[in-house]
Structure 1
Amino acid sequence: MSARILVVDDQEPNVRLLEARLKAEYFEVVTATNGSDALVAAKSQQPDIVLLDIMMPGMDGFEVCRRLKADTATRHIPVVMVTALDQREDRVSGLECGADDFLTKPVDDLTLFARVRSLLRLKVVLDELRTRDSATPDAGDLVDADPKAKPWALIVAGDERAGAHLQSKLPACTQSKVVTDPALAARVAVSGVDILLIDLTSPKFDGLRLCARVRSEAATRHVPIIAVVSPDEVERSVRALDLGVSDIIHRPVDAQELNARIRTQLRRKTYADRLRARLDESLEMAITDPLTGLHNRRYIASRLNQAVDAAANGGATVSVLIADLDHFKRINDTFGHEGGDAILKQFSDRLRGGLRALDLAARYGGEEFVIVMPETGLEEARAGAERLRAATANNPFSLPRGEAAKEVTVSIGVAEFAQGDSPDTLLRRADKALYRAKAEGRNRVIAGDAQTKAA
């Protein structure tokens, strides 16, 4: 996976060394030797990752990181502190100012590239979500999780004592559960947790296998995982990152550092969850009629195409209903558009209530509705249409001002797929049957004749 990486260090030899190592792995490299230049380069070049030294004259790395995370144009770029400092306070300070990780010089190549690959995978996902959510840029803020929320943490350790020790390091606001059986842990994770803390140092279970299983399940694919490893277990750390672990913390686990890493992961999860929710909402809006909540014309057309294609290739038959509320202009003239909208909504509710799980209904336009009934012959479809007609005619509609509209009826045309039908010809036959129902007095169901379909 190629990417553009910004290397920031005031020592020219360090810059050149990192640049050479990254280019050997086919990364594009941008460099800066001070904080001010780094901020300019990050904004103009939009790197995928920033490798940032801390000890620099003028503006140190902590301040550079804070400014990057405060700017809407750069706050989504992962930052890795690369420094000779190795004190707990330095790691915590780096994480609290927004850094995604903290690597100590001299940096091991395996560790560096594993962390870079891990952060790149994350950034690709978030960038895709941000791109799809570009119409609502205000959703792009990385914010702390709701302070009133109590996130659930699942701790997976080799025994209760080790689990309780890790549990004691968690933030006070966190709800947590210790599990020593990896199979049980996988089931608990699927039921809903906010973060996983997995002890990879335990010889009693294969923590890497559990990490892989959690990442393979759709329900837990995006749950942050923090892995506990020993400092000398470089290969295990690299393997964990390549399997999709979100972050690594070394033994002995420092509570303040763990809390900072958990906050980072929960903040990122909150942001990603919000983007996914907005994306789901926008996708739903794209296929939904805003007034009635039914599917819209575009969506029902695509599903009808699928059903007709399946039937034409030897699959189950399909029937189509077209329903039109009778004298709807008169309804609007009598009760106003507010009353007309109320009737459309209630009719849609009755329509939904009478459908089977496999049926699909859409508002086709105005007061006209289309229902696609897969695996349904003409007589069964006609019976379903008659139930809808009766539910409309026999039950008054409530109006916004407390009145009741007692004479609302619907006419319905029904047609079943016949060999040679296209979606358009099937709809035309149902529409022709609807016109007959209107012409013959309305408030009735007419089934179209497959033998008289349009050529």
Structure 2
Amino acid sequence: MSARVLVVDDVPANVKLLEARLSAEYFDVVTASCGREALDICRRAECDIVLLDVMMPDIDGFEVCRQLKSDPRTHFIPVVMVTALDSPADRVRGLDAGADDFLTKPVSDVVLIARVRSLTRLKMMTDELRMRALTSCEIGVQAPEREVIADEGKGGRILLVEDRPSSYERLAPILAEEHTVDVEPDPAQALFHAADGNYDLLIVSLNLENYDGLRLCSQARSLERTRNVPLLALSNADNNVQLLRGLEIGVNDYLLRPVDKNELLARARTQIRRRRYTHYLRDSVQSTFEMAITDPLTGLHNRRYLEGHLATLAEQAAVRGKPLALMILDIDYFKSINDTHGHDAGDDVLREFASRIRKSVRGIDLAARYGGEEFVIVMPETDQHVAGIIAERLRRAIANEAFPIEKGAKQIEVTISVGLATLETKHEPVGDVLKRADQALYRAKHDGRNRVVSAAA
């Protein structure tokens, strides 16, 4: 795996040792001898993960980590503290500063490399989401980093999978101090419970009595509904092989027994913060996609989506030998609404019109704002006769009930003209159907508006 690892230590011998270990595993290694140099490298986006010593001459590792995690430019970079400090209080202090892990020297090569690989994989996945989400910032959606930095990682939903009462009766109350906790003592039911519970973190014992905890972790990673939920493994101190295997299959973090209360809470907060961050990124990507195909005023699909999807619907109709109807709707005298009542009132009319369209069409129909006050509805598996009935029903729904404007303070009468056409032959270009519907709309407006006109076959 090609990734850039930043090694930060003021002792040259330690730097050379870590550099040799990582280079042997084909990582690219960047080094820094002090905290300020490390911060500069990270801010220039020149590393994928940081291995950070604590005791340094200028800024200690805890402060470096805090600064990295509080900066929107760097907070997503994984940080592993590699230090001679070995007390539970030091580990908790590092995790509270934002570190993704805290390893005590001397660190076994196998453990170090496994942890670097695991966090690097996670970073690469996050980078991909971040790149997609950048478009959101460019079009005005707030960057998720701001919310994540302020997130304390509390108030999450946790599922604890543990079949030993002596263990879960101790751990569940600790976690409940900051989170909502469910306990699942039956490992065979845990996956179903996890899939239905919308959890922020799964904590799985790897020492289950009659069940392979690693198999459960693997199944959680392969199931769509739990694939992105962080996994925190609980293991005995002599179970290194199992832990390393867990990191390979997707376990995010682990705790060794006996479990320290504060470390448990700190690691849970770290994983929940990360879960929420990736959630924000995915939501941002989804919002960007929706904005690209949705008209922001009416909430209907926009012309770009219509033009991209219309050919597909026509092709499906031709292949299946089914009819396809298309109507263009135009709000009558819309310019006079804007001129008389103002553009805000015009927007009110467009929003209400879109709402009535949604109530009048089926789930398989495609409704889109074509531009200005023109809308298009595409109706698969609908012939001209049925389409005419639907168009007339929609015309009456518009004409028979006044439109509220100015937050309901006033109401105005609105009517529409509708041009209707159907796909005549399987080889007819869909653009020709749209053109015939547009010509029918022109006749409806020419003949007095507030009417439905069907294109001649």
Please give the TM-score of this superposition, normalised by the length of structure 1: 0.91
- Contact 2:72/2:149 (<8 A) preserved: no
Q: 1:207 aligns with which of 205, 213, 233?
A: 213
What does the per-residue CA deviation read over 1:176-202, in whole Å, with 9 as the maximum and x for residues that have no partner?
111122343222222212211111112
Root-mean-square deviation (CA, aligned residues, Å) is: 2.2
- Give me the whole-angstrom Cα distance separating, in 2, the residues matched to 1:414 and 1:364: 16
Shift of 1:87: 1.8
Stretch of structure 1 that moved more, 168-177 or 319-328: 168-177
- Contact 1:144/1:270 (<8 A) preserved: no
- Contact 2:35/2:58 (<8 A) preserved: yes
- Give me the whole-angstrom Cα distance separating, in 1, the residues matched to 2:178 and 2:111: 32
Tell me: CA distance 1:172–1:223, structure 2 relative to 1, closer, same or farther (3 Å).
Answer: same
Tell me if 1:156 matches 2:161: yes
Shift of 1:120: 1.6
Shift of 1:252: 0.9
Report SS of the residue matched to 1:168.
Answer: helix
Amino acid in the other structure paired with 2:305: Y
Aligned to 2:438: 431
Tell me: CA distance 1:397–1:64, structure 2 relative to 1, closer, same or farther (3 Å).
Answer: closer
Q: 1:228 aligns with which of 225, 231, 234?
A: 234
- Contact 1:164/1:178 (<8 A) preserved: no
Report SS of the residue matched to 1:443.
Answer: coil
- Give me the whole-angstrom Cα distance separating, in 1, the residues matched to 2:162 and 2:190: 10
Q: 2:426 aligns with which of 419, 427, 430?
A: 419
Report SS of the residue matched to 2:422.
Answer: strand
What does the per-residue CA deviation read over 1:366-409, in whole Å, with 9 as the maximum and x for residues that have no partner?
11001122232332222221221121122222232633323523
1:343-358 aligned at under 5 Å gives the runs 343-358=349-364
Tell me if 1:68 matches 2:68: yes
Aligned to 1:268: 274
1:39-54 aligned at under 5 Å gives the runs 39-44=39-44, 46-54=46-54
Shift of 1:239: 1.8
Q: 1:403 aligns with which of 397, 410, 413?
A: 410
Report SS of the residue matched to 2:425.
Answer: coil
Report SS of the residue matched to 1:446.
Answer: strand
Tell me: CA distance 1:44–1:150, structure 2 relative to 1, closer, same or farther (3 Å).
Answer: closer
Stretch of structure 1 that moved more, 427-436 or 38-47: 38-47
The count of aligned residue pairs is: 449
Shift of 1:298: 0.6
Q: 2:172 aligns with which of 162, 167, 182?
A: 167
Tell me: CA distance 1:299–1:13, structure 2 relative to 1, closer, same or farther (3 Å).
Answer: same
1:12-31 aligned at under 5 Å gives the runs 12-31=12-31
Stretch of structure 1 that moved more, 65-74 or 207-216: 65-74
Shift of 1:326: 1.9
Shift of 1:322: 0.9
Amino acid in the other structure paired with 2:371: G
1:12-161 aligned at under 5 Å gives the runs 12-44=12-44, 46-134=46-134, 135=137, 138-141=143-146, 142-145=148-151, 150-161=155-166
Tell me: CA distance 1:6–1:417, structure 2 relative to 1, closer, same or farther (3 Å).
Answer: farther
What does the per-residue CA deviation read over 1:99-143, in whole Å, with 9 as the maximum and x for residues that have no partner?
110122232233222212221222123222322333257432333
Tell me if 1:298 matches 2:304: yes
- Give me the whole-angstrom Cα distance separating, in 1, the residues matched to 2:7 and 2:323: 62
What does the per-residue CA deviation read over 1:128-177, in whole Å, with 9 as the maximum and x for residues that have no partner?
23223332574323335368x73221110123343222213325121211
Aligned to 1:194: 200
Q: 2:395 aligns with which of 385, 389, 392?
A: 389
Q: What residue ranges of structure 2 are gaps of 5+ in the alignment?
A: none
What does the per-residue CA deviation read over 1:194-223, in whole Å, with 9 as the maximum and x for residues that have no partner?
211111112322211221222223322222
Tell me: CA distance 1:317–1:122, structure 2 relative to 1, closer, same or farther (3 Å).
Answer: farther
Report SS of the residue matched to 2:238.
Answer: coil
- Give me the whole-angstrom Cα distance separating, in 2, the residues matched to 1:420 and 1:219: 42
- Structure 1 outlier segments of 4+, above 6 Å: none
Report SS of the residue matched to 2:144.
Answer: helix
Report SS of the residue matched to 1:310.
Answer: helix
- Contact 1:169/1:254 (<8 A) preserved: no
Amino acid in the other structure paired with 2:185: T
Stretch of structure 1 that moved more, 276-285 or 76-85: 276-285
Q: 1:446 aligns with which of 424, 448, 453?
A: 453
- Give me the whole-angstrom Cα distance separating, in 1, the residues matched to 2:152 and 2:80: 26
Aligned to 2:291: 285
Shift of 1:323: 0.9
Report SS of the residue matched to 2:225.
Answer: helix
Amino acid in the other structure paired with 2:86: D
Shift of 1:316: 4.2
- Give me the whole-angstrom Cα distance separating, in 2, the residues matched to 1:79 and 1:154: 26
- Contact 2:325/2:378 (<8 A) preserved: yes
Tell me: CA distance 1:382–1:209, structure 2 relative to 1, closer, same or farther (3 Å).
Answer: farther
- Give me the whole-angstrom Cα distance separating, in 2, the residues matched to 1:242 and 1:320: 53
What does the per-residue CA deviation read over 1:58-78, in whole Å, with 9 as the maximum and x for residues that have no partner?
433223222322333322211
Amino acid in the other structure paired with 2:79: V
Tell me: CA distance 1:383–1:235, structure 2 relative to 1, closer, same or farther (3 Å).
Answer: farther
What does the per-residue CA deviation read over 1:423-448, in whole Å, with 9 as the maximum and x for residues that have no partner?
32221122122222223332222222
Amino acid in the other structure paired with 1:213: Q
Amino acid in the other structure paired with 1:426: V
- Contact 1:193/1:223 (<8 A) preserved: yes
Report SS of the residue matched to 1:322.
Answer: strand
Tell me: CA distance 1:251–1:144, structure 2 relative to 1, closer, same or farther (3 Å).
Answer: farther
Tell me: CA distance 1:319–1:265, structure 2 relative to 1, closer, same or farther (3 Å).
Answer: same
Aligned to 1:453: none
Shift of 1:364: 0.6
Shift of 1:299: 1.1
Report SS of the residue matched to 2:174.
Answer: coil
- Contact 2:345/2:405 (<8 A) preserved: yes
- Contact 1:413/1:437 (<8 A) preserved: no
- Give me the whole-angstrom Cα distance separating, in 1, the residues matched to 2:85 and 2:381: 68
